[in-house]
Amino acid sequence: MVRLRMQRFGRTHRPFYRINAIDQQTRRNGRVLENLGHYDPMCKDEDKQIVLKVEEIKAWLAKGAQPSDTVRDMLGKADILEGKMKDKWIADRELNMKRGECKKALKEIEGIVASLDKMAEDSEADLTPFSNAAKKAHNIARNTLSRAKADDAAKALAEAKDAMSKAEAAKPAPAPEPEPEAEEEAAAE
């Protein structure tokens, strides 16, 4: 099968890529079937960073060539993809965006769990159920990368703060110490 993929050129810290049609089993810098453009990430002008030969690319796609993920993203942004390939690119892009949002939510949950652990160390109140709820939400979110679990962890943090404030309010006030004069009078009697 033919793949549309990039070939790295340039020097250290100055990459330059050619976009080529290459047999799938050929190594990265192996024999090229056709040069289809180039990508220069170091170019300051964004219009000149990616140069594509649109007609040749469409011809290769019509023959069944499969672009690599990076090249597919470039072709999708340049509006060269058509049909099922474009639909798949859009779906994958939305999935990646959601995955990024979920990773942010996971970071939020980790912060909440750390806050609960610190509160549990600093307080005499029993915050174990709230800490366990947040840790459970963290484990589930880590496994599924779900935004909804961040809300569960935030709820557990709010409940833990309420429980801690109630425990501090219910703490008996320390008994006032007797004045030294009263002690001397009691001892004299």
Question: Could you read off the pLDDT of 73-116 as tens digits, one per residue?
Answer: 999 989 888 888 888 888 888 887 877 777 777 788 778 777 77
Q: Is the model's pLDDT at 38 over the cut of 90?
A: yes
- Report which secondary-structure segment, H or E, holds 22: strand 14-23
Residue 116: give the domain boundaries.
97-170
Same domain, 51 and 22: yes
Residue 176 counted as domain residue: no
Q: Given 16, 49, 81, which residue is the final one in a domain?
A: 81
Question: One-letter amino acid identity for 158?
Answer: A
Report the pLDDT value the prediction gives residue 104, as an integer from 0 to 100. Answer: 79
Please indicate whether residue 21 or residue 121 has the higher confidence score (pLDDT): 21
What is the average per-residue pLDDT within 22-50? 89
What CATH number is attached to the domain comprising 72?
3.30.1320.10
* pLDDT given at position 41: 92
Cα separations (Å) of 51 from 17, 37, 136?
11, 5, 49
Q: Which of 118, 124, 130, 126 is nearest to 159 (CA)?
A: 130
Cα 122 from chain centroid (whole Å): 31
* Percent composition of the chain: helix, strand, coil (DSSP 3-state, to 5): 60, 15, 25
Number of Cβ atoms within 10 Å of the Cβ of 130: 25
Are residue 10 and residue 37 in the same domain, yes or no? Answer: yes
**Choice among 13-17, 29-33, 93-97, 175-179 with the minimum mean pLDDT:** 175-179
Q: What is the mean pLDDT of the chain?
A: 79
Question: Domains in the chain: how many in total?
Answer: 2
- Residues 127-135: what's their mean pLDDT? 73
Name the residue with higher pLDDT: 137 or 57: 57
Tell me how many degrees the CA angle 19-67-98 measures, rounded to the nearest 5.
115
Highest mean pLDDT (candidates 26-35, 70-79, 124-133): 70-79
